Chain A
Amino acid sequence: MLRQAQHERVEEDFAVEAVDLVKDFGETRAVDGVSLAVPSGSIFGLLGPNGAGKTTTLRILLGIIDPSSGSRHILGHERPLDAAQEVGYLPEERGLYPSMHARDAIAFVGALRGLPLSEGRRRADELLNEHGLGEWARRPIRTLSKGMAQTVQLLGTIIHRPRLIVLDEPFSGLDAINQARLEELIRKQAREGATIIFSTHVIAHAERLCERIAIIAGGKVAFEGSVDEARGRLRPIVRLRTRSESGSWRSAIPDTARQHGGEWVFELPEGGPEPLLKALIEGKAGIETLAIERPGLHDAFVAIAGDVAAQAMGQEAREQ
């Protein structure tokens, strides 16, 4: 009874809850004590460079592989496959049967999740028309472009209207237009009540889409929380340009401030903007420009995951 109540609570509050997941591949520890709680109905981003353990974590959550230790609940189920009919999954390495027609491929993925084939074909036709691929519905996958095939697979992921959608690097390999379409599709699914987890190494996508994120580095969760909380870990950045080069106002500039081309860059002091402004005005600094910037998710990522991980992420994003 108690367990039932606990499961109901878990299902109600969190679509996914993982506790202390560990996965060893031989001597290599790929996932090292990952704990996550993904609120129902949210868009949740899993950030980290390649090799951080994102895909392995997702595969454990979905039941493709079992963890070496730890536990996970998916939509209230202890065994992920018990929730399979309510879950959609787009793997990082895309794959479809090349000889299948687009609508059949989508319906097949739906059928794997319990959707009757005839209903799957009907919905597939609708979705393909909606995404401008109506005329490709009865053509083999092998004749589709990479972007089209990727869209077909994505449609297969949502054909059965899952409550939880897991997307592993969904933006990888897409051009800018298709990336924007995918972002809109994710938002639409979230508006309709689905929980979405996606992994990415492009921070901009997470920044635009996610309500909550987890930053994974070296198989560990370095941060889990809202995007605002991640940013909140850093103080706002002040960019100041003055006409005066010296004066009593200089005491308001922290020792850690850096100067680039006549511009001071430093973290906003603890007291906030008012004391700083007061000191600058009273000290006759002659404010030329003053900007107080909220740190971006990338800055937060650097601060949380470290420079090396951030550089790796940047490198991967550029390669894409």
Chain B
Amino acid sequence: MMRHLRSAYVIARRDFAATVLSKAFIFFLLGPLFPLLLGGLFGTIGARVATQTERPSVAVVGTQPDFSRYSTARNQLAEAMGEQNVARLIYVVPSAAERSDPQRILARSGISARAVLYGSVSDPRVTGNLGPEEPLANQLRLIVKTAQAPASRAPAIRITKSSGPSNGLSQDRALTGQLGQMILFFLTILLSGMLLSQLIEEKSNKIIEVIAAAVPIDSLFVGKLFAMLAASVLGIVVWVGSGALLVQLVKQGGVATLPPPAVGWPAFLALGVTYFAMNYLLLGAVFLTIGAQASTVREVQTLSMPVTFAQVLIFGFAATAIGSPNSPEALAAAVFPLSSPMVMLARGAELPEIWPHVAALAWQLSWVVLILRMGARLFRRTVLKSGPPTKWWRLGRA
């Protein structure tokens, strides 16, 4: 056993160094940052455009005291509804022609107003490109109504902040579980696909003969799998900052605003790391087995698409557990080894028991071992052309 592990370590060390110390690894690390940067860039532009289109302006023609009262009323409304959601008011001094026909103001360059509010506070009028029941018209009604009312303080309401469970908490926890599941899925789909082509190098440069004569094929598989897991973990460490940024974008206020998972944040994060490793090892072992059958890069590329679709299907299966972790579908998805890590992570967000995770990890680990053994036997049988036809009940004696 120790010899097997030592051999696996030799393979893993070589593969890890070859991967991490290559120039391509820098691009690998930067890869996921590109969509984030692009998202940020286009998000900023989009936000600016949205601000301009979704937050209309209204030109106000009238006396300075009238504009001041409108402005105060508008600010009160903005405090309640959010600055971005209330129309801007622009004070305009009209020309003679505009005074007789206020609609001309809308055509004036430098003022992008949708409507003109003119007349006095007691007798306001509006002209512009808006219907009588549009949200902007209703906003103007509220602003005018507040401006017309005598100044008064807001009524005092005693508010007590609550931190206990509410009906909405379980739904929010499901959201945490879903987010965790999605992160797990995307990390795995991004990283484990590399394992499809892991044995191509050895097969194409013929060093596989030297390795196969020196170490058991099982050790080769284990070494390759763990080397790529280590390289992936290194990548994830680099991406953690980007991930936090993503959460910031997804939910204002960042991670702190996500509802705490049922097992608590420390345990949930520990489970996240562990289930990522398991998910990677399980899918990686399958991909390594499939990829080991390919003899050219082209064959690997051909295999990539069905493998990706299969991953999406498994993700879809795992997603059935969200919101109902004890349903028959969820339990089936938890038992099915390839979806089990994702389902169990979501379960950690929704239910507090820890023992199912211990059982699930043992179950998943046993499948990693089984798949690797099957893969190694298949490799010996089909690639090295060795041994009698595979008898599945003898896998344990390989």
| Interface, chain A (partner B; CB < 8 A) | 25, 59, 62-66, 68, 81, 84, 87, 89, 91, 93-100, 108-109, 111-114, 117, 153, 156
B6: chain A residues at CB < 8 Å are 114
Cβ contact within 8 Å between A64 and B206: no
- Which B residues, 186 to 239, have Cβ-Cβ distances below 8 Å to chain A? 201-202, 205-216
List the A residue with the shortest CB-CB distance to B4: A81
Known: A65-B385, A93-B209, A100-B18. 6 other contacts (CB 8 A): A62-B213, A81-B215, A95-B207, A97-B207, A112-B211, A112-B215
Q: Number of B interface residues at 8 Å Cβ cutoff, please give it.
A: 29
In whole angstroms, what is the CA distance A64 to B209 when docked? 7
Knowing A87-B213, A95-B210, A112-B7 are in contact, say whether A64-B18 is a contact too (CB < 8 A).
no
CB contact under 8 A between A65 and B10, given known A91-B206, A94-B206, A96-B207: no
List 18 contacting pairs A-B, 8 Å CB cutoff, sorted by A.
A59-B213, A64-B386, A65-B385, A65-B386, A66-B380, A66-B388, A84-B214, A89-B209, A91-B210, A93-B209, A96-B205, A97-B18, A108-B14, A112-B10, A112-B11, A112-B214, A114-B3, A156-B210
* Residues B387 and A65 in contact, CB atoms below 8 Å apart: yes
Tell me if B386 and A95 are in contact (CB < 8 A): no
Q: State the 4 A-B residue pairs at the shortest beta-carbon distance, nearest first.
A: A95-B206, A65-B386, A91-B209, A95-B207
Nearest A residue to B220 via CB reads: A112
In the complex, which residue of chain A has the Cβ closest to the Cβ of B21? Answer: A99
B205 touches A64 (CB 8 A): no
What CA separation (Å) do A62 and B215 show in the bound complex? 11
Q: How far is the CB of B378 from chain A (nearest CB, A)?
A: 14
CA distance A23 to B215 in the complex (A): 22
Contacts of B216 in A (CB 8 A): 81
User: What's the Cα separation between A111 and B14 when bound, in Å?
Assistant: 10
For residue B252, CB closer than 8 A to chain A, the reply is no
In the assembly, what is the distance between CA of A108 and CA of B17, in Å? 12
Measured between beta carbons, the chain A residues less than 8 angstroms from B215 are 81, 84, 112
Residues of B within 8 A of A109 (CB): 210, 214
Chain B residues within an 8 Å CB radius of A84? 213-215
Separation of A100 and B17 alpha carbons in the complex (Å): 10
Shortest distance between the CB of A152 and any CB in chain B (Å): 12
Most buried by B among A64, A94, A98, A99: A64
Closest Cβ of chain A to B394, distance in Å, is: 13
In the complex, A95→B22 CA distance in Å? 20
Residues of B within 8 A of A87 (CB): 213-214
Docked CA distance A65–B380 (Å): 7
Task: Say yes or no: A99 contacts B18, CB within 8 Å.
Answer: yes
Q: How far is the CA of A160 from the CA of B18 in the complex (A)?
A: 23
CB-nearest residue of chain A to B22? A99
Q: Give the docked Cα–Cα distance between A66 and B387 (Å).
A: 5
- CB contacts under 8 Å to A, within B293-352, are none
Are B201's CB and A97's CB within 8 A?
yes
Separation in Å of the A39 CB from the closest CB of chain B? 22
Choose one: B10, B208, B388; the contact of A111 (CB below 8 Å). B10
A267 and B384 alpha carbons, distance in the complex (Å) = 47
A109 to B14, CA, bound (A): 11
Of residues B207, B216, B386, which shows the largest number of chain A Cβ atoms within 10 Å of its Cβ?
B207
**Shortest beta-carbon distance, B380 to chain A, in Å?**
8
Q: What 1/0 flags go to B369-382 for Cβ under 8 Å of A?
A: 00000000000100
Q: Which residues of the other chain, B, contact A68 by a CB distance below 8 angstroms?
A: 388
Taking the nearest CB of chain A, how far is it from the CB of B197, in angstroms? 15
Q: Which of B13, B206, B210, B385 has the most CB of A within 10 A?
A: B210
Residues of B within 8 A of A156 (CB): 210
List the A side residues contacting B206 at CB < 8 Å. 91, 93-95
Q: CB within 8 Å of A: which of B13-62?
A: 13-14, 18, 22
- Check if B207 sits within 8 Å of A65, measured CB to CB: no
Complex alpha-carbon distance, A283 and B88, angstroms? 137
B395 to chain A, nearest CB (A): 15
Q: How far is the CB of A59 from chain B (nearest CB, A)?
A: 8
Residue of A nearest to B205 (CB): A95
Known: A87-B213, A95-B208. A108 touches B387 (CB 8 A): no
Select which of A64, A91, A99 is within 8 A of B384 by beta carbon.
A64
Identify which of A66, A95, A97, A111 contacts B209 (C-beta below 8 A): A95
> A97: which of B205, B214, B387 is its contact (CB, 8 Å)?
B205
Q: How far is the CA of A99 from the CA of B14 in the complex (A)?
A: 11
Task: Tell me which of A91, A93, A114 contacts B213 (CB under 8 A).
Answer: A91
Is B205 touching A89 in the complex (CB atoms < 8 A)? no
* Interchain nearest-CB distance for B396 vs A (Å): 16
How many angstroms from the CA of A66 to the CA of B202 in the assembled complex?
20
Query: Considering only CB atoms, which chain A residue lies closest to B201 in the complex?
Result: A97
The complex places the Cα of A84 from the Cα of B215 at a distance, in Å, of 7
